[in-house]
Amino acid sequence: MRGTEGERTGSAAFRPPAAARFRHPTQVIAGGFALAVAIGTGLLSLPAAAESGERTDLLDAVFTATSAVCVTGLVTVDTGSHWSTFGEIVILALVQAGGLGIMTLATLFAVLISRRLRLRAQLVVQTETKAPGRGDMRRMVRNIVLFGLCCEAVVAAVLTAVFLVRYDRPPGTALYAGVFHAISAFNNAGFSPYRDNLMSYVGDPWVCLPIAAAVIVGGLGFPVVFELARFWRRPRSWSVLTRLTVGLTVTLLVVGTVVITTAEYTNPETLGPLGEPEKWLAGFFASTVARTAGFNSIDISAMGSEGLLATDILMFIGGGSAGTAGGIKLTTFGLLAFVIWAEMRGNPSVRIGHRRVPEGNQRQALAVALLGVGAVVVSTFVLLGLTAHSLDRILFEAISAFATVGLSTGITADLPPAGRILLIVLMFAGRIGPLTLASALALRERGRRYELPEERIIVG
C-alpha cells in the first residue's frame, strides 16, 4: 500500500499542470475561436445591438455569433431588420476576425508589440494558415492581413460606386453597403443587411461579379494566392497544392454553372422569368457562392431537387485550403480522386503531376472526408427526428452548416432550440476542421515504438 501511495504521489508530483498540457496549436486555435464566439455573444446580447433596443434571446445571439466567427451566414433572425447598426458592425468584426483567423490576428499583434515571435506562436500560425513550412511566419502573417484588406478595399470601392451611381443611394448608405458586402464576400460569410440578400440584384453583373470575384479569391487559400502572384506566368512551376486548387476551382465553377442553370432553367420561381444572359449569370453566381459564401441571388427554397442536390455537392466539397472557404476542401476531394485513380490502375503510389503524395496526406484526406460524411449523416438523422421538414431540406441545412456556407431553404428560424444548438456545433466543427478539432481534443500525442505483424483483409 505504501509503495502504491508513493507511486501515486510521485506521478502526481511530475504531472504537468493543465496550462502546460494546453499547448498543441490546434487546441489554441479551437480555444481562440470559442473565445471569439463568447465575446460576440456578449456584445450581441446587449440592448444596443438590437433595432428594438431590447435584449436578443441568448440562443439567437450565440447562433449569430457562431455563424459570424465561423464565416457561415446562417441566421435565425433577419440581419437587416433585427440588428442595429452597432449589431451589424459587431457581426462584421466577427466575420473579419473569423475569416482571417483568430490566431493570425493575435500573432500579428504580438509581432507589432514585441517585434519577435516565439516558436510556439509560429507553430500556431502555421497550423491556422496551413503553411507548408515554418519559414518567416511574421512575413506570412503580414502578407495575409495586407492581402485580405486590399482585396476588401478594392471590392468595397467598386460596390460603393455601383450603389452610388446605378442605384442612386446616398453616399453614406452606398459606402456602408459596399464595405459590408466586400468584407462578407472575401471572408466567404454571406451576411447581407438586405432582407432578400442579393435577390434584387440577380441580373446585375456590376454587383454579382465583384462579389463572386471576392468569394473566389478568398476561397483559393493564401498559399495558392501567393504562389500564383509569384509564378502566374509559369504554370509548370506550380506546386501540387496550387495545381489541384486552381484546376478544381475552374472545373467546379464551370460544371456547377452548367448543372444549376440547366436544372433551374425553366423553374418559374428561380431562373425561369430571367432573360438568357441573366440566367447564366445567376447560375454562375449560385455555383460560386455554394463554395462557400452563402449569398443568394435566387430563392433557394424554390429550387428543385436537382438544383438542391448539385448545391449540396458543391457545398460539401468547399474551397481551397488555408482560405476563408469551408467544406472538406478542394485538396481533400482532389487527392481522394487521385487515390481512387491510382488504385484502379494498380499503381503502388499516388502521383499528381511529377510528385508522389505521401501516405500521411492520403490518410488525412480520408479522415477529413469520412468525418465530414459522418457529421452530416448523424446531424441529418437527428434533425429529421426533431422537425417535420423533408429530407432534402434537412440535408441541405446540415451540409450548409458543416461546410460553413450559409445557404438555407428557409427552415433555420423554424428549428427547435435543440436543432439550432446542433447547427451551432456543426458550424464550429466545420470551421475548425474535423481533423483539427479531433487533434485539439487529444491532450497529448502518443508515439508507437513497435509495429504489429501485417495481415491483409478482404475489402469490398
Asked if the structure places residue 459 within a domain, the reply is no
Instruction: Report pLDDT for 110.
Output: 47
Torsion of CA 386, 392, 398, 399, to 10 degrees: 170
> How many domains are there within the chain?
1
pLDDT at 30: 79
Is 2 a domain residue? no
456 within a domain of the structure (yes/no):
no
Please state, rounded to an integer, the average pLDDT across all residues of the chain. Answer: 84
Residue 310 clears pLDDT 60, i.e. is over it: yes
* In-domain check, residue 229: yes
Does 12 fall in a domain?
A: no
What pLDDT was estimated at residue 336?
Answer: 93
- Mean pLDDT across 145-151: 90
| DSSP SS3 for 351 | strand
Q: Closest Cα partner for 39 from 106, 121, 112, 129?
A: 106
DSSP secondary structure code for residue 352 in this structure: E
CA 259 distance to own-chain centroid: 23
Is the residue at 379 inside a domain? yes
Asked, for residue 3, whether it belongs to a domain, the answer is no
Identify the band that residue 239 occupies on the pLDDT scale cut at 50, 70 and 90: confident
Cβ-based neighbours of 250, under 8 Å, separated by 6 or more: none
Cell numbers given for 250: 475552374
Tell me the pLDDT band of 160, cut-offs 50, 70 and 90.
very high
261-306 pLDDT tens trace: 999 999 999 999 999 999 999 999 999 999 888 899 999 999 999 9
- As a whole number, mean pLDDT of residues 83-112 equals 77
- Provide the pLDDT confidence category of residue 104 given band limits of 50, 70 and 90: low
Q: With contact defined as beta carbons under 8 Å apart, do 399 and 315 qualify?
A: yes
d(CA 427, CA 404): 6
- The answer to whether 375 touches 435, Cβ cutoff 8 Å, is no
Domain enclosing residue 112, as ranges? 22-438
DSSP string, 233-286: T-GGG--HHHHHHHHHHHHHHHHHHHHHHHHHTT-TTTTTTS-HHHHHHHHHHH
pLDDT of residue 347: 86
* Cell of residue 322, nine digits: 488555408
The residue-averaged pLDDT of 359-384 equals 90
Which range among 343-347, 416-420, 437-441 shows the weakest confidence by mean pLDDT?
437-441
At 123 the pLDDT is: 53
Q: Report the chain's terminal Cα–Cα distance, integer Å.
A: 53
Residue of 68, 24, 112 lying closest to 438 (CA atoms): 24
130: confidence class by pLDDT, cuts 50, 70, 90: low
The reply to whether 453 falls in a domain is no
